């Protein structure tokens, strides 16, 4: 018989420990029942093979309201949702189809802007396009607000663009060494570390810097210098900083790689299962990494189950490198 709370259970089964930690940190529930349910969600999110059922004695509406609250709170801080919102507004500005209520929301975002945000350069470029939209329509007051914002943050925008371009230059060396062993990349470690820890930079550049540091670790088989960076990022994620489910899944997969290199295989498997809790573009890659660690633990049947679940993704992926890696372990 289908559980009365099956829909709610299915929803909570996709939640990640950093999501529930953030939700607990911001909740101000006066209802002890709602808090008890949220604490149970948090407990379950940290388990891989264990699950504690939810209390059927609570009114079902309590679960429904809590589900809505969780979705709203996570969406409010989701950097990917924010990017989608910016992209849609930009499209409407460029096609002269933006609605008055959407303009009001954009103007409020500009007025209340607090630097830095994850996709800062995208927001800046949206404001630039909106400024053109306003001035030609002689909406001087709104134009001045947007123009003031652009003047205030232009130097930081230009800095972020320069850093992003330099990241590309670093990536050329890093990937060439990783793929062909025909370059050196350790000369980038200090600069990438400075980018990663610079709290005045946009989150995108900072996270891109970390990913490249991870690659360098693999290039030289040196990983000790990465541990403190992961711990630092872990604290940010628990506070909801730079949140998106996509980024968290990537972070968990990177932690799998880190722990496996330290031969901490139980920890690697734990983060590997978290990385495949929800499916996204890189799900096949994450599943392959988890399968590889399980095989190192001689857990062939468990690895096979993970690979079987990912097999449909392998059939449609356009990434030949990931497909070859999957097939190598699958057979």
Tell me the C-alpha distance between 105 and 128, whole Å.
16
What was the pLDDT predicted at 1?
37
Q: What is the mean pLDDT of residues 246-256?
A: 96
Domain boundaries, the chain: 6-77, 78-243, 244-331
What was the pLDDT predicted at 157?
98
For the chain, percent of residues with pLDDT exceeding 90:
85
H-helix or E-strand containing 127? helix 120-135
Tell me the C-alpha distance between 235 and 282, whole Å.
24
The Cα-based distances of 129 to 86, 133, 305 in angstroms read 11, 7, 49
Instruction: Say if residues 265 and 293 touch (Cβ distance below 8 Å).
Output: yes
Mean pLDDT across the chain: 93
Largest CA distance in the chain: 70
What values do phi and psi take at 239, rounded to 5?
-90, 0
Tell me the C-alpha distance between 16 and 274, whole Å.
7
The 10s digit of each residue's pLDDT in 82-118 is 999 999 999 999 999 999 999 999 999 999 999 999 9
Tell me the C-alpha distance between 16 and 255, whole Å.
14
DSSP 99: -
Pick among 3.30.420, 1.25.40, 1.20.120, 1.10.3210: CATH of 244-331? 1.25.40
The 10s digit of each residue's pLDDT in 151-176 is 999 999 999 999 999 999 999 999 99
What was the pLDDT predicted at 181?
82
pLDDT at 320 over 60: yes
Please state whether 85 falls in left (phi above 0), alpha (psi between -120 and 50) or beta: alpha
DSSP 96: T
Q: What is the mean pLDDT of residues 124-146?
A: 98
pLDDT grade for 124, boundaries at 50, 70 and 90: very high
The set of residues, in sequence order, having a beta carbon less than 8 Å from that of 279 and lying 6+ positions away, is 313
DSSP 297: T
pLDDT grade for 149, boundaries at 50, 70 and 90: very high
**DSSP assignments along 224-264, one per residue:** HHHHHHHHHHHHHHHTTTT--HHHHHHHHHHHHHHHHHTT-
Who has greater pLDDT, 30 or 310? Answer: 30
- pTM value? 0.91
């Amino acid at each position: 018989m289908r559980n009365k709370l099956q829909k709610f259970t299915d929803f909570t089964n996709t939640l990640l420990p950093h999501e529930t930690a953030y939700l607990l940190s911001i909740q101000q529930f006066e209802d002890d029942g709602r808090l008890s349910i949220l604490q149970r969600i948090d407990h379950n999110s940290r388990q891989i093979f264990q699950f504690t059922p939810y209390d059927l004695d609570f009114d079902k509406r309590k679960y429904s309201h809590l589900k809505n609250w969780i979705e709203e709170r996570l969406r409010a801080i989701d950097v990917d949702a924010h990017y989608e919102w910016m992209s849609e507004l930009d499209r409407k500005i460029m096609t002269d189809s933006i609605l008055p209520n959407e303009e009001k929301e954009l103007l409020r975002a500009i007025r209340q802007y607090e630097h830095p945000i994850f996709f800062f350069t995208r927001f800046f470029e949206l404001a630039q396009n909106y400024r053109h939209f306003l001035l030609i329509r002689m909406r001087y007051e709104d134009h001045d607000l947007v123009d003031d914002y652009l003047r205030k943050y232009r130097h930081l925008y230009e800095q972020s663009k320069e850093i992003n371009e330099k990241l590309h230059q670093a990536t050329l060396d890093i990937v060439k060494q990783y793929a062909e062993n025909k370059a050196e990349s350790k000369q980038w470690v200090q600069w990438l570390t400075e980018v990663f820890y610079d709290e005045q930079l946009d989150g995108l550049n900072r996270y891109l810097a970390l990913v490249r540091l991870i690659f360098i670790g693999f290039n030289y088989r040196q990983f000790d210098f990465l541990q403190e960076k992961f711990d630092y990022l872990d604290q940010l994620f628990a506070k909801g900083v730079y949140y998106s489910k996509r980024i968290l899944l990537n972070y968990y997969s990177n932690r799998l790689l880190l722990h496996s290199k330290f031969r901490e295989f139980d920890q690697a498997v734990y983060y590997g299962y978290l990385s495949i809790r929800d499916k996204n573009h890189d799900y096949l890659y994450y599943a392959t990494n988890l399968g590889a660690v399980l095989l190192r633990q001689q857990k062939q049947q468990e690895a096979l189950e993970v690979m079987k679940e990912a097999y449909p993704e392998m059939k449609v992926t356009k990434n030949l490198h990931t497909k070859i890696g999957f097939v190598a372990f699958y057979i």
